[in-house]
Amino acid sequence: MDFLNSIFQKTLVGLDIGVSGIKAVELGFGKKTSLISYNRISLPWDSVTPEGTIKDDAAVVSALKKLFSAKSFSTRDVSVGLFGNSVLTKPISMPTMSRKDMEEQIYWEAEQYIPFNVEECSIDFAVVGNTVQKVVAGAESSVEVLLVAVKNDYIQSFTNVIERAGLRPTIIDYQAFALGNSFEFNYSRELAELNPGETDLIVDFGAGSTKLSFVSKENTVFTTKVSACGSGYSQLISERLGESFEQGEVLKLAEPESPLVSPIIQDYNAYLVSEIQKNTDVYFSQSGDRSLRKIFYCGGASKTPGLISLLSERYPEQVENLDPLKNLFVNRTKSNQRMLDDFSCLGTVALGLALRKSGDGK
């Protein structure tokens, strides 16, 4: 997606602004793509809402300034990923045509599907890949497309905050596409082995929502989210134990195995896994003959004790950690292991954003 075009071909810092904090990644594009720098900073709770709105501009500007003050990044050009309710996605069908014609036609198609004025939106799309030959005699062939629409004023509010921190928003992407990009970069061989109709599912266990992306051999096919998430654990702990939300978060992280906290975490694990299963079942019941091959997971809340083992019970031999370092060159002598562990769990979306370069037409 290229909502904004960049002028020069150079590296960008991938900036994942999430509910719990901001992650930034810079890559080097030599013979092998390498990790140059990764850093992360927390945000005060509720400064970015799970719906994707920046509620406390000052807090985000200040965090961004701090993140870049360490001088670990060589550029202030950033690639950011939008998420939340202001980003509308819809799988649609279009008549088969060239990519260039599709870029013009998509605005006409979008009018039928989006509830706001297309002129006030930026529209983009990913070709899902499989051209469907309709069986009706005389009908034209069509191509499945994932349509993405974002209101321009939402993009503007996001870019304003980034510019106030002295950064240049050069590419505006959609977080779920960045996640798919990261996956494709690291798992291209596995993706190539997907049989027709098979789909992998990426689950990003975030603080404000759990994002599900269904990916086929060629592209992200469908994205959705469930509201059960990392902060949901903290909320439930706070309610059941009569503590503040902040204390719920502390207890979740510091004493997850304690007799008071552990049963609450297990209850929430069951709820979160059932929500994933429900959404996955709905997707496959509506997507014809597609089937699930594997589930790859990432995001901070995936570290919750018992969560991944429960997911693996529901989907035996199908659950695997998404390793963002799999295909990335890392100078291990210069890198600190704690930083790499942190990146492995939290850096996947920022990596996908950093992989984007201008003129990258995906």
Ligand X SMILES: Nc1ncnc2c1ncn2[C@@H]1O[C@H](COP(=O)(O)OP(=O)(O)OP(=O)(O)O)[C@@H](O)[C@H]1O
Query: Is 348 among the residues that bind ligand X (CB under 6 A)?
Result: no
Contact call for residue 21 and Mg ion (CB under 5 A): no
* Residues 181-220 contacting ligand X, CB under 6 A: 206-209
Q: Which does 84 bind (CB under 5 to 8 A by kind): Mg ion, ligand X, none?
A: none
Q: Which is nearer to Mg ion, 145 or 174 (CB)?
A: 174
Least Å distance, CB 3 to ligand X, is 19
Residue-by-residue DSSP string for 158-195: HHHHHHHTT-EEEEEEEHHHHHHHHHHHH-HHHHHTPP
Residue 237: CB atoms within 10 Å? 24
Binds ligand X (CB under 6 A): choice among 41, 253, 292, 325 = 253
206 binds Mg ion (CB under 5 A): yes
Match 């695997």 to its residue by tokens.
320
Axis crossing angle, helix 57-69 with helix 152-164, rounded to the nearest 10: 50
Establish if 231 lies at the interface with ligand X (CB under 6 A).
yes
Based on C-alpha coordinates, what's the Rg of the chain?
20
Longest dimension (CA), the chain: 67
231: partner contacted, choices ligand X, Mg ion, none (Cβ within 5-8 A by kind): ligand X
**Which ranges of 258-320 does DSSP label H, i.e. alpha helix?**
262-286, 307-314
Per-residue exposure over 258-275, b if at least 16 CB sit within 10 Å of its own CB, e if not: eeebeebbbebbeebbeb
**Both tokens of residue 238?**
């706070």
Angle, alpha carbons 118-124-130 (nearest 5°): 125
CB of residue 175 to Mg ion, shortest distance in Å: 7
Candidate segments 16-24, 130-138, 150-158, 312-320, binder of ligand X by CB under 6 A:
16-24
Instruction: Give yes or no for residue 18 binding Mg ion (CB under 5 A).
Output: yes
Instruction: Put residue 325 in one of left, alpha, beta given phi > 0 → left and psi -120 to 50 → alpha.
Output: alpha
Q: Using CB under 6 A, pick the residue from 180, 299, 347, 352 that binds ligand X.
A: 299
Q: For residue 19, which of 41, 40, 39, 49 has the smallest C-alpha distance? A: 49
Using the rule CB under 5 A, is 347 a contact of Mg ion?
Answer: no
Amino acid identity, position 44: P
Residue 301 is a binding residue for ligand X (CB under 6 A):
yes
347 binds, among Mg ion, ligand X, none (CB under 5 to 8 A by kind): none
Binding residues for ligand X restricted to 19-38, rule: CB under 6 A: 19-21
Asked whether position 310 contacts ligand X by CB under 6 A, the answer is no
Q: How many Cβ atoms from other residues are within 10 Å of residue 108's Cβ?
A: 10
Span from 31-39, 188-196, 226-234, 279-287 in contact with ligand X (CB under 6 A): 226-234
Identify which of residues 77 and 249 has a Cβ nearer to ligand X in the complex.
249
Which of Mg ion, ligand X, none sits in contact with 348, Cβ below 5 to 8 A by type? none
Which stretch, 56-64, 92-100, 134-142, 301-309, contacts ligand X (CB under 6 A)? 301-309
Length of the chain: 362
CB of 208 to Mg ion, least distance (A): 8
Please say which residue, 53 or 262, places its beta carbon nearer to Mg ion: 53
Q: Interface with ligand X by CB under 6 A: which residues?
A: 18-21, 206-209, 229-231, 249, 252-253, 299-301, 303-304, 346
